[in-house]
Structures are given as C-alpha cells and as structure tokens.
Structure 1
Amino acid sequence: MKTNANLLWVLTAFFAIMTVVYVVWNLLDHGTMEWAGTFMLGLCMLLMALVAFYLVKVHAAQGGELPEDRLDGNIDDGDPEMGFFSPWSWWPIFLAGCTALLFLGLAVGFWISFIALGLGLIALTGWVYEYYRGMFAR
C-alpha cells in the first residue's frame, strides 16, 4: 500500500507539472488560456492527491504493513472475516440489471429510467427483506 501511495504522489507531481506546462504552452502559442484542458489536468492532479492521501492515512491507521505486503506473510495471515453474503440470492443480479436499464434509459430515452427505478425499488426491497420470508427466514 505504501508503494501505491508513493506512485500516486509521483503522478500528482506529474499532473501538477503538466498543468503548468499546458498553461504556459497555450499562453505562448495562442495568447489565451484553454480552460477545458487546464481544468481537466488540474482535476487529475487533485484526484491523484486525494487517493494518495487516503492510502497514506489508511496505511497509518492499520498500524503498518498488511500481511500480503510482507515477504514472510502466509495466506492465512490475511484471512479476516469479510462479512455475510447471501447464498443463492438472485436479487443482486436483478438489481444490477435494473441499474443497467437505468443507465440505458439515461442514454436512450428518459422514460426507460422510470421503469428501471420502479423495478430497482422492487429488487432492493427483495434483497433487504429476503431473510424475513421463505427458506432462509430468521
């Protein structure tokens, strides 16, 4: 994780330098600022800095190296409890299809998005309440 953060800091510096180069080049060549490219390069720099800062903070909060980053680490060292996942559940697939339909509706016709939102609410409700009924009721 530390190596990833260092690489992202290098990319942050690269995008900062390229933003300055882009602005100077446009001012010398055209005499005006080109805002779209300048804004894009600046946002790329901020994105890299944000992710690098996050990785540095997470690395510091976890108390050192992860087991998978150590050369003497075993597979069992990095085997924590990841949470509970629904076995045999079809609701996540149905919800993913509704999400795809929603984005299709945004691209093709806005009226499709309303259908996708309705189906998505049904899928989300089914996924949340699937352990209250049927074979897996608790």
Structure 2
Amino acid sequence: MKIEARIFEAIAVFFLIVGVVYTIATYYFRTGVEWAGATAMFFSAGLALIAGTYFRFVARRVEIRPEDFDDAEIEDGAGELGFFSPHSYWPVMIAGAAALFAIGFATANWWFALGVIPIIIATVAGLVFEYHVGPEKH
C-alpha cells in the first residue's frame, strides 16, 4: 500500500503545482483568474491527497505485500487474491438505480431523484450483505 500512497501523493503535488501555475498564468494573461480551472486543479489535488492519506493510513495496518518490496518479482504475488462473487446481480441493480437517479437529476425531476435514493441504498446493502450469515448460522 505504500506504493499506492506515493503515487497519489505525487499526483496531489503535481495538481497543486499546476494549479498555482495555472492561477498565475490566467491572472496575468487574461482579464483575471479563470476560477473554474483553478478550482478544479486544487480540488483534484485535495482528492488525490485524500486517497494518498487513506493508503498511507491503511499501509500501517496491513501486512507487507510483495508490491511493497523494491526487488520483488512477479512470482512473489502469485496465489489466491480473494473471493469474488461469480453470479451476483447486485452490481447491475446498483447501476440501474444510479442511472435512474442520474436521469432524475439531469432532468431536474427532484422528487424522482430523491425517491431513487432508498433504492440505491437497498441495492448497496444487498451487495454488502450478500454472503452474510448471522451469528446463529455459524
């Protein structure tokens, strides 16, 4: 996870530098600062910093992976990567609900968009708890 943290922190520094240069350049070569682009640059830096901080935080709590070694080989990461649900229909349901929300939002049909939010929450809960068995089932 340290590699991922470094990547996102480098992206954050890049966007911060480009944002400062962009803000200064638009201030001197236009009639004023172009705020949409400057805001996008600084927000992109902030989002990358959030992701990098998360990966840095998680890296301290998980065991060292082969990706974290500078001299690791591809074979070091071989083996089972985890469990992936082979026939889950929940991602399709989430995508459909999100599409309905986007249609309601794009057409300014606010009651429709707000009415779809419980469906999105229900489908996400279905995905999260798809393989959950209660304590009495153990």
Interval of TM-score (by shorter of Structure 1 and Structure 2)? 0.5 to 0.7
Whether contact under 8 Å (2:3, 2:67) holds in the other structure is no
Which whole-Å CA distance do the structure 1 matches of 2:90 and 2:19 have between them?
Answer: 45
Larger Rg: 1
Aligned to 2:46: 46
Which runs of 5 or more structure 1 residues have no equivalent in the other structure? 131-137
Whether contact under 8 Å (2:9, 2:48) holds in the other structure is yes
The alignment's C-alpha RMSD in Å is: 3.6
Find the residue that maps to 1:101 and give its secondary structure: helix
Taking a change above 3 Å as real, the CA distance of residues 62 and 95 of structure 1, as seen in their structure-2 partners, is: closer
Query: What do the CA deviations read for 1:19-52 (whole angstroms, capped 9, x no partner)?
Result: 1111211222125222211111111111111111
- Identity within the alignment, %: 26
Matches within 5 A, 1:1-138: 1-64=1-64, 66=65, 71=73, 73=76, 75-76=78-79, 79=81, 93-94=92-93, 96-108=95-107, 110=109, 112-113=112-113, 116=116, 120=119, 127=126
Query: What do the CA deviations read for 1:38-89 (whole angstroms, capped 9, x no partner)?
Result: 111111111111111111111111142x25665353544x555x59x6x977
